Homo-oligomer: A and B are copies of this chain.
């Protein structure tokens, strides 16, 4: 493909994307395909000779689009939002147009330096503590990781290596493998699966401590666990707190956790993948309490900052603790300015060597939306969730399972779990809206998250009408069924009086 064909293909693709996003409400949010649909539609081998871009674009419309779950639809209410914005899409394309690697400064100075700039911009926008800024020339700073999972894993691995080094000095009688065998980490039983997975990957068990009834993890639970573990000869390493949790967006109590971590030389990491966006709002300043005492923090820009995945911000109080743990350098990676300046070589801050120019889409998005645009977006999510919460509260057939938190409402149909489960099944089959279920203390509930690129009050109305009308239908059907069951049982009783056999009845 030459540059001229690219100009045509690229512009057609821009229109394709604009048309798709402008008309996203035309599609059911969930696709109507069965597993394997695409395997049957596509050839078993790549074509030997080139095909034209227009054929390919037609196929994207014909075979790919029908198999998409539309995450940018306002009828997406599953998981947490994965929001894109128009400027971010352009930023991603420009970055792939440059296709540079950013593993060291010399590899593309603009890549490293723009990341320093936007991570400081973001830290200030979110009102994070000063020691997380690059401009302070301290050992702290921010970095873009691929995902929250990676950010958590980086914190877990760095904390592990730091603990091993510390213990080798303080307890020289222990071998390295004895030390590693005693390491233990903590999180809440409400935390994201990626935290437990980080423990598996790091070969360091992560104890999932029981959150309170309000689903919040507090210092006393951590204190109790640490006391028990230390008594049993274990070595506490890191606690991963959540702001907020995946199930209900509960906020762990950072202040009391920090106190226990400080007393026990335990690394405190905060996974604020979703709620971190609210740090930007004065009315949510309570959420930031204790952040000046944490060692590291992660926040997903695709959740609230309208920058498309992947783009997970991570801040470290002391980046040297990660660099020390991960640096395995080779001569071909060295460059003249290495280590001489305050410009980080971000490859030492992360797991992979390679890195994309992700700062570009962040910069473009921040500049074209402005701080006021970003704040307005978060506030809109909160307002729409309030609207949904009011609708739930006003319908006595439903109940909230936890307080609304930011853009998330957790609710269920009153009564046993079966009705909520059946309701979700109907909604999934109808494919108009997409929610997922979760469970707490044996109670099944539905998570309604405000998502999509540009959700509106009418979308919330639409979702609510869908939910409550399906509950109405479900209950009506159940009444019919139970009346039928009653009639059938009466009939059976009557027939059995006639001494007819079951076999006759079933014919």
Q: Are A341 and B89 also in contact (CB < 8 A) when A149-B353, A370-B50 are? A: no
- Interface residues in A368-422 by Cβ distance below 8 A to B read 368-373
Q: Does residue A309 face the partner (Cβ distance < 8 Å to B)?
A: yes
A109 partner, pick from B16, B67, B114, beta carbons under 8 A? B67
What 0/1 pattern do residues 43 to 60 of A give for CB contact below 8 A with B?
011111111110110001
Residue of B nearest to A113 (CB): B38
A485 within 8 A of partner (CB): no
Interface hits, A184-213 → B, CB 8 Å: 192-194, 196-197, 200-203
Once the chains bind, are A354 and B310 in contact (CB under 8 Å)?
A: yes
B99 adjacent to A35 (CB under 8 Å): no
Expressed in whole angstroms, the minimum distance between the Cβ of A273 and any Cβ of chain B is 10
Distance between A104 CB and nearest chain B CB, rounded to angstroms: 10
0/1 per residue, A161-178, Cβ < 8 Å to B?
100000000000001111
Docked complex Cα distance between A276 and B498 (Å)? 79
CB nearest to A181 among chain B residues? B177
> A203 touches which one: B147, B202, B354 (CB < 8 A)?
B202
Known: A49-B372, A369-B50. A117 touches B343 (CB 8 A): no
A44: chain B residues within 8 A (beta carbon): 120-121, 124, 135
* A356 with B68, Cβ < 8 A, contacts A116-B39, A447-B332 known: no
Structural contact, B438 and A93, CB atoms closer than 8 A: no
CB within 8 A of A343: which of B35, B135, B177, B341?
B35
Nearest opposing residue in chain B for A205, CB measure: B176
Contact bitstring A15-48, B, C-beta under 8 A = 1, else 0: 1111011100000001101011111001011111
A439 within 8 A of B: yes
Please give, as numbers and ranges, the residues of chain B lying within 8 Å of A2 by CB-CB distance.
86
* CB neighbors of B among A60-95 (8 A): 60, 63-72, 79, 82-90, 92-94
CB contacts (< 8 Å) of A331 on chain B: these are 437-439
| Oligomer copy total | 2
B352 & A194 in contact (Cβ 8 Å cutoff): yes
Check if B17 sits within 8 Å of A47, measured CB to CB: no
In whole angstroms, what is the CA distance A63 to B364 when docked? 13
Determine whether the beta carbon of A97 is less than 8 Å from that of B38. no
CB-CB < 8 A to A96: which residues of B?
84, 88-89, 92-93, 308
Measured between alpha carbons, how far is A180 from B135 in the docked complex, in Å?
Answer: 41
Q: Which residues of B contact A20 (CB under 8 A)?
A: 97-98
Among A236-244, A249-257, A282-290, A321-329, which stretch is in contact with chain B? A321-329
Chain B residues positioned under 8 Å from A108 (CB to CB): 31, 67-69, 71
Cβ 8 A contact of A247, one of B109, B302, B332:
B332
- Answer yes or no: A484 CB below 8 A from chain B CBs: no
Identify which of A2, A109, A447 gathers the most chain B CB atoms within 10 Å of its CB: A109
Nearest B residue to A375 by beta-carbon distance?
A: B48
Can you list 19 A-B contacts (CB < 8 A)?
A: A3-B86, A7-B14, A9-B90, A10-B86, A20-B97, A38-B113, A39-B116, A46-B122, A46-B366, A47-B371, A51-B368, A64-B114, A68-B108, A89-B93, A146-B146, A193-B353, A197-B328, A201-B201, A332-B436
Other than the known A13-B97, A101-B309, what 7 A-B pairs have Cβ atoms closer than 8 Å?
A31-B110, A45-B121, A67-B110, A68-B98, A96-B308, A149-B353, A332-B447
